[in-house]
Structure 1
Amino acid sequence: MSKPTAAFFKIHFNAVFLVFLLSHASSQFHGAQEQAILVKLKQYWQNPSSISHWILSSNSTDHCSWPEVTCLNNSVTELNLPNKSISGTIPSLICELQNLTSIDLNYNNIMGEFPKTLYNCSKLENLDLSQNYYIGTIPDDIDKLGRLRYLNLMVNNFSGEVPAAIGSLQDLSTLLLVKNQFNGSLPHEIGNLSKLEILGLAYNSELKQSKFPSSFKNLTKLKTLWMSGTNLIGEIPDFIADMTALEQLDLSCNRLTGEIPNALFLLKNLKGIHLFDNKLFGEIPQVIRASNLTAIDLSQNHLTGRIPSDVGKLEKLSSLVLFYNKLSGEIPESIGQISTLEDVRLFGNRLSGTLPQDFGRYSKLEIFEVCSNRLTGTLPTHLCDRGKLLGVVACDNNLKGELPRSLGNCNSLLRVDVSRNGLTGSIPSGLWTSLNLSMLMISDNMFTGELPRKVSDNLSRLEISNNRFSGEIPIEVKLWRNLDVFYASNNFFNGTIPRELTALPSLSTLLLDQNQLHGSLPSDIISWKSLRTLNLSKNQLSGQIPEAIGFLPNLNQLDLSGNQFSGQIPSQLGLLWCTDFNLSSNRLTGNIPKEFENGAYSNSFLNNPGLCASTAKVKLHICGSQRNSNLSYPRDLIWISSIAVFVLCLLVSFFVTKFCWKRNHVLDSRWELVAFQMVNFTTKDILLGLKDEKNKIGAGGSGEVYRVDISGHGDFIAVKRIRNKKRPERELEEFQAEVMTLSGIKHSNIVKLMCCMSSEDSKLLVYEYMENGSLYLWLNKHRTSSIILDWPKRFGIAVGAAQGLCYMHHDCSPPIIHRDMKSSNILLDSKFNAKIADFGLAKMLIKQGKPATISTVAGSFGYIAPEYAHTRTIDEKIDVYSFGVILLELTTGRKPNRGDEHRSLAEWAQHYYEEGHSILDALDGDVKEACHLNQMCNAFKLGLYCTRALPSLRPSMRTVLKILLQNCHPPDYRCKNTENEYHDLDHLPQKLTCAISV
């Protein structure tokens, strides 16, 4: 065989070089082609600024350096585009990137149905479309994406059935369908996914009721199973032990019953059990063999019996959470000896006996909460030995002895609550000044000692009432700059109230009642701008009541009773809007301010012999009614003559009035005016305004509304006249409800009641005038003409109304239920700020969270919550329902009683959404602009959330307001969930994406 010649090598080299050149040219062509595809993608998505750097380049590989693009051998394999403000849909050209294996479009504004265009991405393995606005069903042929390993569709609006075809994606290791709108059954075919390691189906509460799927026992590689809120019923099956790889199991917020099976504790790899908020009954099993178990959470069930002693054998346990059950017996001593234990929450049970003294000795304990049990003995002495303790909550027990001295050297502490025990001794000096301490609550014990000169700079809440503290309030109190709440009732404090106490800018509540304080009140009391509650009763305070109290802008509870205050009550106190007001048992003299001359304050001035009033509604003698028995005859005669003249004048006035005003029935009897704030008009000013029918601006079932110019120069007020003729009992009830409600509350989003007037035939309510009328009028104008209330104004109105309702439900004591929330009862001032009006049906709850029952249903059709109509039971959730209807009105432009020809707006919207229709098509086309679509969609979905049929599924108004303010902010704002956590809207909505899933 001859050797290759030089010519042969030359020919071979040239051939190889030619192949190389051709390959290089092909690679360059392919790179340029992919770069062009990416630029077309950007243009299709309307050039979002987040990928503005996607620009064609002469270098065919430049796109591989773009941060959103991953290449392998200069070919695109991954697109990572989370939170890039991409809107629209996914075009088919994306699959022209022939080597694409991964697409991440999480947290964008992509709409429409599941993109079947991705079926052409033949190599696709990872797909993340979570936190977008997808609707409709997951297609039945999704198994065409046969190479998928990772599929994340959570936090969208997919509905219908979870398709059985998902069970054919045999390579799938992660499947996340959390928080959608599925309303079918869980497919048993999921059990065919033999490689599945993570399965998330949580927060799909509309799924059909089902037992734990038996096919899931085949998921032998599954490590995480997240099925909270999936409408599971029945018992937890024993075959769960066949899922041998399980590490995290969450079946919370379902309707599971029965006992916790021993099989749970046979899972060797299990690191966490979460079964809270179910209806599990029975005892915690003694057999606990899960040696790797790191967390136990069985809270909020109906578990009985003892805490198993075998829990102490779990050498890796870091968290023991058993709160809100019916557990009894002692806490096993061995639990305190677990070296990994960090979190102990056992509150709200029936546990008894002494606390294990080893808590904190061997582990870095962070959370220790054993409140509301029947525990005795002392607190463990080693709680903060490792310096990691964040909180000690042991209130409502029968604990004795002193606080552990170690707490005085525990700078990690944030909160200490040992209220309502029998603890004694002094507070460890270091505890007062603990660096991070923000709440110290030790009321209702027998602690002694004096207040310290210095406290933690972070201390915001100090509760020491009902103890045996003594001494003076130190002048160094001015250094407690962050103090918000100070409860110090029923102790032995003496001396004066130092002027330095007024230097606390954040102070909202100050209780110093039932002490031995004396002297006058500080002159700088006006500094308490944040103060809402001031109770100084049952001391020995004296001098005059400072006028400055009347100028405290937020004060709504004032109690100065049981002291030695003297002199007249400052007229400035009439400026206050107090729900609780008590000046009883002092030495006050003179007339009480006219603002307090109504039945709401009938007991506010008792045991002040020198006080008088001009009305019998207050339990004081009438001013001028006490006659001196030594008056001379001439003076008696003058007095009698004066009375006679007065009576004659009344008679003349009566006949003149009857003759001149008979037609209008305005001055048909004597009028009584009760003012709730300083007013600059008289009864005559109002009555003259009612004479002119041109001033009438509205009428309803109980009377008319007038606009009255009290100065002649455009200084308007609104007057509602309630007749006493048709239904006197109901009119009187509504009048009293309006007065009782509005006279006691003060909020920028609630209409201001200035005064009320009453006569034999009529009653008048006088309000601030709202220049832009009601929301109903504007929406009605919009429906019948070209006058448009744009979306930014509508959104601002929704926020304002929510703020008013939130105040009524959560900040008033007792809470106030409006009962007739509707667009006509939302009034708008000159700047379109919303104020809630018409409290004629309002009801105050005796106790927050406790429903009340009424004899008749009242309200407006279309706004009435179903449970109110059927059971006559009312609580805050009926207002939430009505507010939800208002949101649907604002977003759709439809009338509340006319979603279509057969259903109310709320019923129509729920069905419309459940049937998978596009929200965009439901929005009011006259105000629908691209820059507002995200906000309008979310407001629509929030309206759906508020109008759920079951009251328990509706949010509180506090939650509604948080969602509006934090999750539905102006157009380009997105509150990204950086922690990658997703919560039900009933819990922590501030961490939820704007893509609200109802």
Structure 2
Amino acid sequence: MSQLCLYFVFLLFISISLKVTSQDINAERDVLLDLKRQLGNPPSIQSWTSSSSPCDWPEINCTANSVTEVHLADKNITVPIPPTICGLKNLTLLDLAYNYIPGEFPPLYNCSKLQTLDLSQNYFVGSIPDQIDRLSTLVYLDVGANNFSGNIPPSIGRLSNLQTLYMYQNLFNGTFPKEIGNLSNLEVLGMAYNEFSPVRIPQGFGQLRKLRYLWMTRTNLIGQIPESFNNLSSLQHLDLSGNNLEGPIPGRLFSLNLTHVYLYHNKLSGEIPRPVEALNLVEIDLSMNTLTGSIPEEFGKLQYLDFLNLFSNRLTGGLPASIGFLPALRDFRVFRNNLTGVLPPEFGLHSKLEGFEVSQNQFSGQLPENLCAGGVLQGVVAHTNNLSGEVPKSLGNCRTLRTFQLHNNRFSGEIPQGLWTTFNLSTLMLSNNSFSGELPSELALNMSRVEISDNKFSGEIPATVASWTNLVVFQASNNLFSGRIPKEITALSSLTTLLLNGNDFSGELPSEIISWRQLTTLDLSNNKLSGEIPAAVGSLPNLLNLDLSENQFSGEIPLGIGNLRLTSLNLSSNKLVGRIPSQFDNLAYENSFLNNADLCADDPILRLSDCNSELHESKGLSSRHISIILPFVILFSLAILVLSFFIVQDYRRKKRRQYLATWKLTSFQRLDFTEGKILSGLTNDNLIGSGGSGKVYRIIINPSNEYVAVKKIWNTKKLDYKLEKEFLAEVEILSSIRHSNIVKLLCCISSEDSKLLVYEYMENHSLDRWLHRNKKSSVSGSGSVYQTVLDWPTRLRIAVGAAQGLCYMHHECPTPIIHRDVKSSNILLDSEFKAKIADFGLAKMLTRHAGSHTMSVVAGSFGYFAPEYAYTTKVNAKVDVYSFGVVLLELVTGREANNIDQNMNLVEWAWHHFSEDKPITEILDPELRESSYLEDMIMVYKIGIMCTRASPSTRPSMKEVLHALRSCCPEDGQGAKKKITDIDMAPLLGSVTGTYLSSYKNSKKGFEEDDSVIFDV
């Protein structure tokens, strides 16, 4: 009977327990359904219904039939998280990453069992709350990639259970607390990419004895690495790059069991301490510092060392021979130091070496014989040293080699035949050595750049040169080449640069050069070429630099050359006759026609005879063997000319003095020209552009054929108030900022009726000319037709460069700047296609911590307006982000911002295509669809989509955009490795739905709310 009673009691207990559990799970389902409602019933969680158990929902994990984990990452959530979620009493994990959640840090303090909280990659703003320590059970906290600002509170040091703390890439501009050192269980600390106030690394960080991963890239650290770091016995990954650290590296640091060390882009000084027993080191990166002393011999004991990066320091002495014996060494980079001695011959023999960069040192001796012994070598960069001897024959059999750079050394002998044709080689740079031999009959299929100038190569250019189909740059100046320039070379339609000057070529220049439609630079000077200059030269649409001097060309100058927009021209020392093209009849080309006795010009300013004078008529007739003019006629004409010359010159000097007296020059850079030089160049022949606020001229400033661009703001004595404001705005901004991706303002010159801004000259003009050349050339009637298709790597470099300029303006200027007129025509390109932001006439400075600035009028360019800009006058940095997004879409699609159809501009068209889930490849520029870079193009297309979202608060910052664009590049432009694990930009590049398209149609609504979200830059 007693056993039966116990059995019934047990059944009763089970029944009660099941009833209680059922009630609990039903209550938790109600909490989650209420959460779904407050989140706006997003389609991504439609499986949450009242007819099913939460434990069966994909986003929910349960323990003992109770909800313990909620996974809402990447669910397109766009509203704040309500505190009611803490009704889940057993909640231990909440993942909200990769959404678009606005507002301040969510009030989750009643989630008493919460251990994992992931808020990363959202749009949270404000500061981390002081009461953060109320989440006392937290083990994992990630608030990375948000817009948090201010200080990190000391109370975070009271989260005693915390093992992982990520706070990277926010807008923190205060300090971080030393109390972080109290987190005795902390294993991972990531605070990178925050502009904290200048701060030293707290000594207390040395108490983090369990710390394995420390990531503090670009956090404005100063001072020395503290000695207390010697106590970080568990440390495996140390990244303090991009700061302002100084002093020596702590001597015992290398005794830690590190697997990664990144200390580049600092200001460390002193010698590298000798590693003691750091045998587990895998990667060492101490690049871009001011380290001195020699490379320690003990580096050769690091048997697991995979990557040794010491470039851009002040290291001296030789390389320890033991480094050549390292069995795991894959990349070795010590370029830009003061290292001497010979390169250890064992390099490559004991490991699978992939990269070998020792350039810009003082190494001597020979190149190691076995660099490619492992069969995976991709690059040898050893230029600018004192290396000598011959190139090892083994490198001729290295099929993996992609770049080979030995220029500026003392090498001699012939190049191994196999090196010319090795399969993957694309860059061969051997200039300024003593190499000899002849050009090969075949060249590697992928070869795009061959630079062999200033050597002793000889013989003729082979007729098989036509097979070098991918060659873009061919520089062979100052060698011993002879014979004719073969017509087969005109088949190289991809050439942009051809330098054959300083050789012994003879005969005529092939007339078929019309196929060189991408050529920008042609230098055939100092040879023995003869015959007439082919008329086809005047049909090369992209030619910028032409030098045919010191030859024996005869006949007249083709008139078509005058239609080219040349930045430099030299036809001196030939046998040319007749009239020069009228476009060159100005002082910008005064040294372009010297020593051609029978050339004439209509303007006596040039040092040529007057085509309209009897004197020149006599010379022209004489050269054509028709008649001879009597000597007394010549003397009489000369006398008249001399007298007229002095009268005119005296008049011009008086007028010039009166004219210059009315002008005032204000310089912002060191100048090598006067205002007179600029003013004399304001002629229609030098006019290269015009716009709503004035005209732009290209003016030569010195005998070296250097140019400046001059923007003339207006040309009327009636003062225009709007243009005066634009002028003052541009001068104020450009005179106060310095950045390599922002056009440099040299000076301004003003008078009562005109304002001149003098800039550095950008040889390749503006981006829109290259992207939209065919449409513009058909209507412009100009001789400059941009037929060259910008390849994708060039477009990507342009995008990164422009983004760097805008990022500097928004995030790095002492007074942040909004441009307000970002567009492809305001992105200028220098001779290397480096992008620079220009035209700041509409820009406005914002004071730090100020809200949106209200503009009296809406300014900018149609097609690039952010939607909120068209309906309100509030301005923040997101208007530039939107406009830059339009530029990215132009780069990817090749289409103009407004030229789609009557109903849609480029942004609407791109979003419409995206919302219909059509293949992205259909929208890409047809001229690039067959490119091998489709994945990167699609990535940039998605970045453009993110930038052009209707709501300003959902657009990324320029800092985020720049980081995402750099992730598309193999390198960041400074030779640093791309660290994929640093920041996952998935939310920036992730999926978006058609719901955003509809917001454009209703874009007049809700922008007052969005405008309140101002980035505190």
Check whether the contact 1:329–1:351 (CA below 8 A) recurs between aligned residues: yes
Asked if 1:970 corresponds to 2:958, the answer is no
How many residues end up aligned between the 2 structures? 810
CA distance in 1, matches of 2:324, 2:310: 15
What pairs with 1:127-526 in structure 2 (closer than 5 Å)? 127-210=117-200, 212-267=201-256, 269-526=257-514
Check 1:779–1:266 CA distance in 2 against 1; reply closer, same or farther (3 A cut). Answer: same
Q: Which residue of 2 aligns with 1:54?
A: 46
1:577 maps to which of 554, 565, 568: 565
Tell me how far 1:440 sits from its aligned partner: 1.1
What residue number does 1:909 align with?
846
CA contact (8 A) 1:383 1:389 kept: yes
| SS of alignment partner, residue 85 of structure 2 | helix
The letter for the 2-side match of 1:890 is R
Match of residue 567, structure 1, among 555, 563, 574: 555
Unmatched 5+ stretches in structure 2: 620-627, 667-672, 700-709, 764-803, 823-840, 860-864, 885-939, 989-1013
Separation in 1, partners of 2:285, 2:687: 42
CA shift in 2, pair 1:274/1:425, >3 Å: same
8 Å contact from structure 1 (residues 563, 586) kept in 2: yes
Separation in 1, partners of 2:489, 2:720: 45
CA contact (8 A) 2:223 2:245 kept: yes
Aligned to 2:91: 100
Q: What percentage of aligned pairs have identical amino acids?
A: 41
Separation in 2, partners of 1:82, 1:166: 24
Residue 400 of structure 1: how far off its partner (Å): 1.4
- CA displacement 1:936-957 (0-9 Å, x = unmatched): 76546879x9xxxxxxxxxxxx
- Say if 1:469 and 1:493, in contact at 8 Å, map to a contact too: yes
Does the 8 Å CA contact 1:571/1:593 hold for their aligned counterparts? yes
The 1:285–1:195 alpha-carbon spacing in structure 2 relative to 1, beyond 3 Å, is same
CA contact (8 A) 1:471 1:494 kept: yes
Matched, 1:121 2:92: no
Q: State the shift of 1:933 in Å.
A: 12
Cα distance, 1:152 vs. partner?
1.7
Q: 2:170 is matched by which residue type in structure 1?
A: N
Alpha-carbon contact 2:92-2:114 (below 8 Å) kept? yes
Structure 1: distance between partners of 2:438 and 2:426: 20
TM-score norm. by structure 2 comes to 0.69
Equivalent position to 2:662, from 707, 727, 749: 727
| Superposed CA offset, 1:529-557 (max 9, x none) | 22111111112222211222223222111
AA at the equivalent of 1:40: R
Q: Distance in 1 between matches of 2:563 and 2:322?
A: 61
**Which residues in structure 2 correspond to 1:506-655 (within 5 Å)?**
506-623=494-611, 624=613, 626=615
Alignment partner of 1:109 is 2:95: no
Distance verdict in 2 for CA 1:542–1:78, change over 3 Å: farther
How many Å separate the matches in 1 of 2:573 and 2:325? 57
CA contact (8 A) 1:37 1:97 kept: no
- AA of the residue aligned to 2:757: G
1:37 counterpart SS class: helix
Per the TM alignment, residue 93 of structure 1 is displaced from its structure 2 partner at its CA by 3.4
Report the AA paired with residue 253 of structure 2: L
Q: 1:297 to 1:483 in 2, by over 3 A?
A: same
Q: Which residue of 1 aligns with 2:818?
A: 888
Opposite residue 34 of structure 2, the aligned amino acid is I
Cα deviation for residue 462 of structure 1 reads 1.3
| Separation (CA, whole Å) in 2 of partners of 1:331 and 1:725 | 61
The CA distance in 2 between the partners of 1:184 and 1:809, in whole Å, is 28
CA shift digits 1:99-152 (9 cap, x unpaired): 43333333433332222x222333322222233333322111011111211212
Measure the CA separation in 1 of the matches of 2:266 and 2:559: 57
Cα drift, residue 970 of structure 1: 2.1
Write the deviation string for residues 965-998 of structure 1: whole angstroms up to 9, x where unpaired: 8697322787897899799999799998669985
Asked if 2 retains the 8 angstrom alpha-carbon contact of 1:578 and 1:744, the reply is no
Q: More displaced, 449-458 or 525-534?
A: 449-458
| CA separation of 1:911 and 1:419: change in aligned 2, threshold 3 A | same
The Cα shift of 1:260 comes to 2.2
Secondary structure class of the residue paired with 1:263: helix
Q: 1:359 to 1:925 in 2, by over 3 A?
A: same
Change (3 A) 1:63 1:501: farther
CA-CA distance at 1:489 after TM superposition? 0.9
**Residue in structure 2 matching 1:29, options 26, 35, 59:** 26
How far residue 437 of structure 1 moved from its aligned partner, in angstroms, is: 1.7
Aligned-partner SS, 1:425: strand
Q: Residues 842, 641 of structure 1: CA spacing in aligned structure 2 closer, same or farther, 3 A cutoff?
A: closer
Give the distance between the partners of 2:192 and 2:347, measured in 1 at CA: 35
Asked if 1 retains the 8 angstrom alpha-carbon contact of 2:395 and 2:419, the reply is yes
Question: Is the alpha carbon distance of 1:281 and 1:642 closer, same or farther for their aligned partners in structure 2, counting shifts above 3 Å?
Answer: closer
Provide the rounded CA distance (Å) in 1 between the counterparts of 2:698 and 2:381. 47
Counterpart AA for 1:727: T
Match of 1:817 among 732, 745, 758: 745
- Deviation of 1:187 after TM superposition, in Å, equals 1.3
Counterpart of 1:608, as a letter, is N
Q: Distance in 1 between matches of 2:722 and 2:139?
A: 56
CA–CA distance in structure 2, aligned partners of residues 569 and 925 of structure 1:
50
Q: Secondary structure at the residue paired with 2:505?
A: strand
Counterpart residue number, 2:678 = 737
Pairing of 1:919-934 with structure 2 (within 5 A): 929=867
After superposition, what is the alpha-carbon deviation per residue over 1:449-486, rounded to whole angstroms, capped at 9, x for unaligned? 22223322322221111122223223333333332221
Gaps of 5+ in 1: 655-668, 672-720, 757-764, 782-797, 826-836, 847-875, 893-903, 946-961
Question: Partner of 1:40 in structure 2?
Answer: 37
- Partners of 2:252 and 2:276 within 8 A in 1: no
Contact 1:737 1:842 (8 Å CA) reproduced: no
C-alpha contact (below 8 Å) 1:191/1:215 kept by paired residues: yes
Which deviates more from structure 2 when the two are superposed, residues 375-384 or residues 633-642?
Answer: 633-642
- Cα pair distance change 1:197/1:32, threshold 3 Å: closer
- 1:58 Cα deviation from its structure 2 partner: 6.0
Q: Classify the secondary structure of the residue corresponding to 2:108.
A: helix
Alpha carbons of structure 1 residues 622 and 189: separation in structure 2 relative to 1, 3 Å:
same
Partners of 1:923 and 1:144 in 2: CA distance: 47
The amino acid that maps onto 1:489 is: S
Residue by residue over 1:65-114, the C-alpha shift from the partner in whole angstroms, topping out at 9 and shown as x without a partner, is: 43x55454565444444444432322223334444333333343333222
> For the structure 1 residues 996 and 563, does the alpha-carbon distance in structure 2 shift closer, same or farther, using more than 3 Å as the test?
farther
RMSD in angstroms over aligned alpha carbons? 5.3
Distance 2:320 2:546 in 1: 48
Inter-CA distance 41–569: structure 2 relative to 1 (3 Å threshold): same
Query: Higher mean Cα deviation, 357-366 or 231-240?
Result: 231-240
The residue identity in structure 1 corresponding to 2:337 is N
Q: How far does residue 186 in structure 1 lie from its aligned partner after superposition?
A: 2.9
TM-score, scaled to structure 1: 0.70
Deviations 1:307-327 (A, max 9, x none): 111111111111221112222
SS in 1 for 2:583: helix
Letter in 1 for 2:26: F
In 2, distance between residues paired with 1:564 and 1:485?
A: 26
SS of structure 2 residue aligned to 1:282:
coil
- Report the Cα distance in structure 2 between the residues aligned to 1:375 and 1:277, rounded to whole angstroms: 24
| 1:568–1:588 CA contact under 8 A, matched in 2 | yes
**Which is higher, the Rg of structure 1 or of structure 2?**
1
Code of the residue aligned with 1:600 in structure 2: it is A
